[in-house]
């Protein structure tokens, strides 16, 4: 690559970068024909850069210099300020997306093992249940309500600044109880099938060994753990879920502080529904990725 081409290339890139700010400042003062000419000149510079056409690029730069002198000469641009404004709008868009549509969440505890492991980072669909006003538990509007089996992220009712994640076991009007370690909803045992002894991560806890089950809430199966020998919360309830509330439980059933201990979850506290794991990190291995869990859907 010749020194001449390098110089032309640098000059063209500098002109395009500056032209972006000049166009933003001056386009309203241009008539339709002048705006079209400016856009055509910018497009020509970009195309010739891509084609690595030195002769054509030199001619295009001369044409643009004439146009710039005629129509942009009175425009003064503070590049630092313009870049700061661009950064502001980027931050505003990111904030808006996090507020309305989607937000990341990191799993801090083992209460949802084996569905979610400590260190998993997941994406939460915030729009599915309605938009929440930032830094509050009030909703701008409500859409659908959570269903049994949904994995939800919510503001912890006793301490709303903390976010928790649990599975919805009961919705408004449901009667829930646990008898001999078996969950009953409206008097019916929630079906569960034994799979095998669980050998995956457990995040400690009081239990030495766990059994893996597939539990079916509303006919949707999800994995669930029970301690092999003894269970916490073997007998609970019955309780009836009030209007405007849901009842949440962890999939690590014997190692989960959930609605059995601190009560119901108000619908306004719910931030969204867990969708998929986007970054599964293993804190027991210096936060190396768990490669088999990337983009795993949460069921």
**How sure is the predictor about 83, in pLDDT bands with cuts at 50, 70 and 90?**
low
| 225 bridge partner residues | 212, 252
> Over the stretch 195-210, which tens digit does the pLDDT of each residue have?
999 988 887 767 888 9
Q: Does 123 have pLDDT greater than 70?
A: yes
Closest C-alpha to 154, from 141, 142, 163: 163
Place of tokens 């089950």: 213
* Helix, strand, coil percent content, the chain, rounded in steps of 5: 35, 30, 35
pLDDT digits (tens, 9 = 90+) for 22-60: 777 777 788 888 888 888 888 888 888 888 888 888 888
State what percent of residues in the chain have pLDDT above 90.
40
Q: Tell me the per-residue pLDDT of 205-224, one tens digit each, with 9 for 90 and over.
A: 678 889 999 999 987 899 99
What's the chain's average pLDDT? Answer: 85
CB under 8 Å, gap of 24 or more: what pairs does 50-59 form? 52/5, 54/2, 54/4, 54/5, 54/8, 57/8, 57/9, 57/12, 58/8
Separation between Cα atoms, residue 251 and residue 150, nearest integer Å: 12
Q: Do residues 204 and 109 lie in contact, with contact meaning Cβ atoms separated by under 8 Å?
A: no
What per-residue confidence (pLDDT) applies to 1?
Answer: 54
Whether residue 32 has a cis bond before it, omega within 30° of 0: no
pLDDT at 231: 59
Query: What average pLDDT score do residues 141-152 get?
Result: 88
Residue 166 pLDDT greater than 90, yes or no? yes
pLDDT in tens, 246-269: 999 999 988 889 999 999 999 989
Q: Which residue has the higher pLDDT, 283 or 166?
A: 166
Collapsing DSSP to helix, strand or coil, 247 comes out as: strand
What domains appear along the chain, each with residue ranges and CATH number? 3-71 (1.20.1270), 104-297 (2.10.109.10)
Single out the residue of 118, 85, 117, 123 nearest to residue 104, CA to CA.
123
How many angstroms separate the CA atoms of 141 and 268, rounded?
A: 10
Helix residue ranges per DSSP H, 27-78: 32-51, 54-71
Residues labelled catalytic: 111, 166
- Please list, in sequence order, all residues whose beta carbon lies within 8 angstroms of the beta carbon of residue 255, skipping any fewer than 6 positions away: 110, 111, 113, 202, 203, 205, 206, 207, 225, 227, 232
Whole-number Cα distances in Å, 36 to 16, 31, 42, 239, 273: 16, 9, 10, 69, 47
């Amino acid at each position: 690559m010749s020194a001449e081409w390098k110089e032309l290339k640098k000059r063209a890139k500098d002109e395009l970068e500056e032209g972006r700010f000049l166009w933003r400042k001056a386009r309203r003062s241009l008539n339709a024909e002048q705006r079209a000419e400016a856009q055509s000149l910018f497009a020509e510079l970009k195309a010739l850069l891509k084609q690595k056409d030195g002769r054509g690029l030199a001619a295009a730069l001369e044409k643009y210099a004439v146009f710039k002198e005629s129509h942009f000469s009175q425009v003064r641009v503070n590049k630092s300020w313009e870049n700061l404004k661009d950064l502001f709008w980027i931050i505003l868009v990111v904030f808006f997306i996090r507020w309305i549509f989607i937000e990341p969440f990191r799993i801090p505890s083992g209460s949802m093992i084996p569905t979610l492991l400590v260190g998993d980072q997941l994406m939460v669909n915030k729009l599915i249940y309605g938009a929440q006003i930032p830094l509050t538990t009030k909703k701008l509007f409500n859409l659908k309500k959570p269903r049994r089996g949904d994995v939800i992220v919510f503001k912890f009712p006793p301490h709303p600044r903390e976010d928790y994640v649990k599975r919805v076991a009961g919705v408004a009007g449901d009667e829930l109880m646990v008898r001999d370690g078996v969950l009953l909803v409206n008097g019916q045992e929630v079906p569960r099938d034994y799979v095998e002894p669980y050998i995956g991560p457990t995040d400690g806890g009081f239990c030495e060994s766990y059994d893996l089950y597939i539990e079916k809430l509303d006919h949707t199966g999800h994995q669930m753990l029970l301690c092999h020998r003894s269970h916490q919360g073997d007998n609970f309830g019955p309780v009836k879920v009030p209007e405007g509330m849901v009842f949440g439980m962890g999939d690590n059933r014997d190692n989960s502080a959930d609605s059995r201990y601190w009560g119901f979850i108000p619908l306004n506290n719910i931030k969204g529904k867990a969708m998929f794991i986007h970054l599964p990190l293993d804190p027991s291995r210096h936060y190396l990725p768990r490669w088999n869990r990337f983009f795993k859907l949460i069921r």
